[in-house]
Structure 1
């Protein structure tokens, strides 16, 4: 409920397939690609507001000239900050009175006049909000084909194992993060591929300065990625540029993190979300394709585009929580899925209000849950249609026209209860001041709720921690003096930590987990906590492939309804006069609504990779031992 969940990052890659002069002639500016990059990033700003970065690679500059340029920012509006910079020529060029739309002049005097762009939007799941943690990250070398740029939406669960491998190879990584580890893993095999080709052409009698173009032309990106990602455990969609002009985007074999692409004779585009590409390129959904699980989209310097299998795909486990909440709701499939999530909740909601339509008001908060609200109301109306038919049939012709009109016109009461003050929202910068400010971010509509009579039903995308709901939202809604407040979550209870890109790593941050712990204590079953702790500790020295998720046993004694009831008890403020009930989506209905995206580990504990079981066990150990640490 309006909680600040830091989550998946966004990527945007653009490869211009024509010379800059082509775009200058056709579109009136060489900045065609740069402008598309800006739009791709701005349309994905929901995926990252902690920082942003862009890189440009120029394909045809001679030695002695910078051909890779990068800007990154952690300012309050990082996208604007970056593009204010990248649109400016070099200082030495500003003195010349030359047409800035001259593409040849621009190539040498604008750092971002190039053919290959990579942009990234960051939500921090590791480290502080420092420029050092902002993508794209670079690995530099004097040989163009050994320069590497990476940016991604990912988390690896086995960074410790991969880090040790790098040490055994003789490297000395500068930081212990999955970003640096991924960069060095790909970089190591990029170096090896360069060395292999160099020896090959040297043995064939080529001179050194003739070998570099041959290496650049024949670099085997598929082989590099196969070897680099061989032992990665996690969810990832990682984009990379190589200094001479090759580019790629590789996706994890479970399809956990999303990536989509489009290309025509002028441009190739990759982004984290399909509707973003549709909007920016003005194309139909059928023209935007998904990079499949375990696949890589590879764009060679000469413009050749191919999709290659990098890892054997596993059973698809695309993140369903992303579709419920994080992704743009304008995607044609996600929009229908969110509506279906709301529709499937309507029978439970009607039962909760005892089918009392006259004294029930339906609404939603925040704005992102509006689509699920539409679906919920469709379900409510479907019930009412059957009720109306039944009412008319029961009377068997004894109804007057006025009676029939009254029955037919009867509709559920829907109101805009919470109104968001967007200007105030921008000032919420930290958790310490958040709760007080949230109380003023929302205004409520007075006069539409009958005091101490009406039940207020509010649907939300999800209830994760519950802190904002308890500390602010319920108090705000209680100002209207309803008899009862029913908060509905279109997502099931979030019970387990994520380790694939969303900043939800600690069990005791989840209200569902806290509710289960309280229930165990109240029912005299605290021994289960000790038992699970012991089982988790016994697994600490096992390989991740041998580990089992024993944390499920915490929830096993209770039904989902019992946990929901305890959540309502924990979240109701002491000074709240209304009765409070919490209704969650069921796992079964989640799968009905999102049949193609079965990544439900947040709700079920069914982790798609072995590293997930290690993370959840470590997280439980930290909880029992009182450690305020991330489990990966």
Structure 2
């Protein structure tokens, strides 16, 4: 007896974060993730390239950064062409020079002092470590005038941003810090080998819960928990991911906005905006690896639904333990 062929659902997040960046296909995919973010970034800075500095959070975001820069150059070439072709009158040398000299202001702002990965560091050590990992480059951001765009490979917990990076970047005096994630919002736990199984650690989940409370929709939390409990009693805990209901009332932008509030440290002067990759663009960038359960909650096996429901129940019950233990 043969099983029907299934759609390949190999993990896309592994390729964004864990895989060797020197692999040719990984390199192309990460660059494409950066390119595809350009429309959102340009909208966020109102296409003001003159007063925007672009950088990345080292080290794994560097390749996506190169793709982002290529996308910015493509936008500039299009702008230059359209501007010059639309001119009915003779353009002055000064105006021509201004148009032709357009270029993104690309700088290495954040410097990682040691080769450490804060995401995979032990929980007890992470908070102390992040304050010692990063330094920054001074003298390239115009205080009070510039936007500062920094791209990261992903924002899982937001710990490094909240406790270290945003404070460091704020010292440079940008009027606005725009943090860009090459991955979509990580909303759901993993159960296939990466230790990401506690719901309360995801900043996207934290944001969704905060939005529910802000909107007076706490009953959705209780109803979701009740559905998880009933599914266990009925032997249906593997049938459905009930936790999608937590995110359902809100748009991606609403959740990103709340994340920006959550990760903004008290006392900083710059405003903070967070931009995430879209699911559609994730699939465009990584078309051969469609496993997106971290972001969509669509698990490739029934066991994934069981883990996510259990992870949510653990969070409600105050149990700080892995959902597959």
Instruction: Please give the TM-score of this superposition, normalised by the length of structure 2.
Output: 0.94
Which residue number in structure 2 is paired with residue 167 of structure 1? none
Alpha-carbon contact 1:499-1:612 (below 8 Å) kept? yes
1:537 corresponds to which of 197, 219, 229: 229
Q: Secondary structure at the match of 2:266?
A: coil
Contact 1:495/1:602 (8 A) holds in 2: yes
Q: Counterpart in 2 of 1:467?
A: 159
Higher relative contact order at CA 8 Å, sep ≥6: structure 1 or structure 2? 2
Matched, 1:593 2:285: yes
Indicate whether 1:561 and 2:253 are aligned: yes
Could you say which residue in structure 2 is the equivalent of 1:519?
211
* Aligned twin of 1:420: 112
Give the equivalent residue in structure 2 for 1:243.
none
1:618 to 2:310 alignment:
yes
1:378 matched residue in structure 2: 70
Partner of 2:50 in structure 1?
A: 358
1:219-618 matched pairs, under 5 angstroms: 313-422=5-114, 430-543=122-235, 547-618=239-310
**CA distance 1:537–1:478, shift in 2 (3 Å):** same
CA distance in 2, matches of 1:423, 1:484: 28
Map Cα deviations across residues 157-189 of structure 1 (whole Å, 9 max, x no partner): xxxxxxxxxxxxxxxxxxxxxxxxxxxxxxxxx
- Give the Cα–Cα distance (whole angstroms) in 1 for the partners of residues 308 and 63 of structure 2: 32
- Quote the Cα distance in structure 1 between the aligned partners of 2:144 and 2:314: 44
Deviation, 1:432, is: 3.5
Deviations 1:351-405 (CA, angstroms, capped at 9, x unpaired): 0001111110000012111111111111111111111112212333512344323
Q: Distance in 1 between matches of 2:137 and 2:236?
A: 52
Deviation at 1:534, TM superposition (A): 0.5
Cα distance in 2 for residues equivalent to 1:341 and 1:403: 34
| In 2, Cα distance between equivalents of 1:400 and 1:571 | 47
**Closer/same/farther in 2, CA of residues 464 and 424 from structure 1, 3 Å limit:** closer
* In structure 2, C-alpha distance between the alignment counterparts of 1:494 and 1:561, rounded to whole Å: 14
Give the TM-score normalised by structure 1. 0.49
d(CA) in 2 for partners of 1:319 and 1:414? 31
How has the CA–CA distance of structure 1 residues 424 and 517 changed in structure 2, closer, same or farther, with 3 Å as cutoff? closer
The answer (yes or no) to whether the contact 2:238–2:303 under 8 Å persists in 1 is: no
**C-alpha contact 2:73 2:103 (8 A) present in aligned 1:** yes
Looking at structure 2, the residues matched to 342 and 429 of structure 1 have their Cα atoms a distance apart, in angstroms, of: 26
Residues 181, 277 of structure 2: 8 Å contact kept: yes
Aligned alpha-carbon RMSD (Å)? 2.1
Provide the rounded CA distance (Å) in 2 between the counterparts of 1:498 and 1:424.
Answer: 22
Q: How far apart are 1:424 and its partner, in Å?
A: 8.2
CA contact under 8 A between 2:80 and 2:99: conserved in structure 1?
A: yes
1:336–1:324 CA distance, 2 compared to 1 (3 A): same
Distance in 1 (CA, whole Å) between partners of 2:190 and 2:125 is 26
- 1 CA distance for matches of 2:70 and 2:80? 15
Shift of 1:436: 3.6
Contact 1:544/1:613 (8 A) holds in 2 = no
Contact kept? 1:325, 1:461, Cα under 8 Å: yes
| Contact in 2 for aligned 1:455/1:484 (Cα 8 Å) | yes
The equivalent of 2:319 in structure 1 is 627
Q: Is the 8 A contact 2:188 2:295 kept in 1?
A: yes
* Alignment CA distance shift 1:423-1:630 (3 Å): closer
User: Which has the higher Rg, Structure 1 or Structure 2?
Assistant: 1
Correspondence for 1:87 = none
Q: Give 1 or 2: higher helix fraction.
A: 2
Unaligned runs of 5+ in 1: 1-308
For 2:60, what is the secondary structure of its paired residue? helix
**What SS does the corresponding residue of 2:141 show, helix, strand or coil?**
coil
Aligned to 1:89: none
| Larger strand proportion of the pair | 1
Pair 489,631 (structure 1): closer, same or farther in 2 beyond 3 Å: same
